[in-house]
Structures are given as structure tokens and as C-alpha cells.
Amino acid sequence: MNVAKMIDHSLLRPELTTDDVRRGCEVAGRRAVASVCVRPSDVELAVAALAGTGVLVGTVAGFPHGDARTATKVAEARALVEAGADEIDMVLHIGRLRDGDGGYVHDDIAAVAAAAQGRTVKVILENAYLTDEQKVLGCHLAERAGAHFVKTSTGFAPGGATLADIRLMRAAVAPHVEVKAAGGVRTLGTLLELHAAGATRFGATATETILDDYAARERGEQPPTPAAAVDGGY
């Protein structure tokens, strides 16, 4: 199992400096994770920092609330693609999903997916604000709109990824649509439990701790008790 290639190393906290982002990209490149997920203004920096590493550059649109106009999300997605982003994690319109306005939610996602020009699009539902029925509807709409992933959370809401939500989301979408867990994935144990439930990608800030613990486990060692991680948007 290549745990590193399941991790999107998150660099989304608003207070991060450019030096912080560079250091985070260095971690992502050195640990050969799947991607780094940076703020929109940091995409060019990340593209340059990760050139030749094989680590993808991800970023966000409509983040973290999802309530921007569709035209704004589309313009953002187009600009991010032009800047070199490989993946875009967009937040659907949470309020319209709670309204049951499936047409709006579908069209909002579909417009961003088209603007992404074939790049991977992950749709964030922000499950902390949704009922199970709304979560399932959001997954169905994201799949029909062309999303490649459905994702639990931004990391900025009151709750993050749960085992029950991963199971629910995995069952709600076809096999070709993947599930990303984000928000509270701070330990190897949590990652492996959520992976067993169906998640294939994980937003994380505690990347080095998780990977060090996995390496220790592979060597047959007892992993150390993990230090408390600072929640950084995932």
C-alpha cells in the first residue's frame, strides 16, 4: 500500500506565508505524496516548487463556503488551470443543497467541471451541515455533473470526515467516482480506518507524522504516540 500517494498535503490556512508554503511544498515533494493543496494565490509558487517531483498541484474554488456565484467559480477555475493547477477542490453551494435545489447544485458543479478542462475535480459537500439524505443527494448530483471525487469537508466547518460518512458516500456513487476524506485525518489509524471504508484520498496537515508512523509499522516497530496536530484547513 502506498499511503503517501493517498495524501493531499494541505496548505490552506489563511495565515501561511510564502515561506510556509515553500516549506510545505518541500515536504510534499520529499515525501512523494499525491498532491499539495494550496490556496489559489499560491498555485504558481507550488508549480515551480514541485517541478519534476511528480507531485500534483491542487487548489480550491468557491472555498470554504461554496456560496460564490457560478460565474465566479467558473472564472476562478479557468484562472487556476491557466496557472498550472492539476486538481481543483470546489465547494458546492451548501445552502442550495439544503434547499433541495438539485438543478442549481448540479449546474454549478457542471460549469466548474467544464471550466477545469479535464483536470480532476473534487466536490466538497461540507457534511457537518447536511443530513444523510442531503449528503446522498449531493453525491448523486456531483457524479452526474462530472466530478471525479466527492469529498467530506473543507476542514473549516464544525466537523470533518467520519467513518459513517465515508461509507455513505462510497455507497452513493459509482465505482469510478472516488471519495476523499478531509477534516480530522491526523493519525495513521484514522487514515487506514477511513481507507477500509472506501476513501482513497485524504486531505492532511499531519503528513509527516502519518508517513513516519506507517514506515515504523512496516518495519514492525511500535509507532510513537502522535503529537497533537494543528488543524490547517483539513
Amino acid at 167: R
Average of per-residue pLDDT across 170-175: 98
- Distance between CA atoms of residues 201 and 191, nearest Å: 9
Average of per-residue pLDDT across 45-68: 98
pTM: 0.94
Average of per-residue pLDDT across 188-206: 98
The mean of the pLDDT values for the chain is: 95
**pLDDT (tens digit per residue) in 28-39:** 999 999 999 999
Of residues 219 and 210, more confidence is placed in 210
pLDDT of res. 220: 87
Q: Does residue 38 contact residue 232 with C-beta atoms inside 8 Å? A: no
Average of per-residue pLDDT across 118-140: 98
**pLDDT (tens digit per residue) in 102-127:** 999 999 999 999 999 999 999 999 99
CATH number of 3-218: 3.20.20.70
Average of per-residue pLDDT across 141-151: 98
Query: Could you give the residue ranges of the DSSP H alpha helices within the chain?
Result: 18-31, 43-49, 70-83, 94-99, 102-115, 132-144, 163-172, 188-197, 207-218
Residues recognised as catalytic:
89, 151, 180
**pLDDT (tens digit per residue) in 6-24:** 999 999 999 999 999 999 9
Q: So where are the chain's domains?
A: 3-218
Residue 218 has pLDDT above 90, yes or no: no
Average of per-residue pLDDT across 87-101: 98
Residue 231 has pLDDT above 50, yes or no: no
pLDDT of res. 228: 40
**Local confidence band at 223 (pLDDT 50, 70, 90 cut-offs):** low
- Distance between CA atoms of residues 102 and 122, nearest Å: 18
Residue 182 has pLDDT above 70, yes or no: yes
**Local confidence band at 82 (pLDDT 50, 70, 90 cut-offs):** very high
pLDDT of res. 91: 98
Residue 232 has pLDDT above 80, yes or no: no
**Local confidence band at 224 (pLDDT 50, 70, 90 cut-offs):** low
Average of per-residue pLDDT across 180-194: 97
Helix, strand, coil percentages, rounded to 5, for the chain: 45, 15, 40
Closest to 166 (Cα-Cα) out of 141, 198, 128: 198
Residue 233 has pLDDT above 70, yes or no: no
CA 29 to chain CA mean position, Å: 18
- Distance between CA atoms of residues 105 and 194, nearest Å: 27
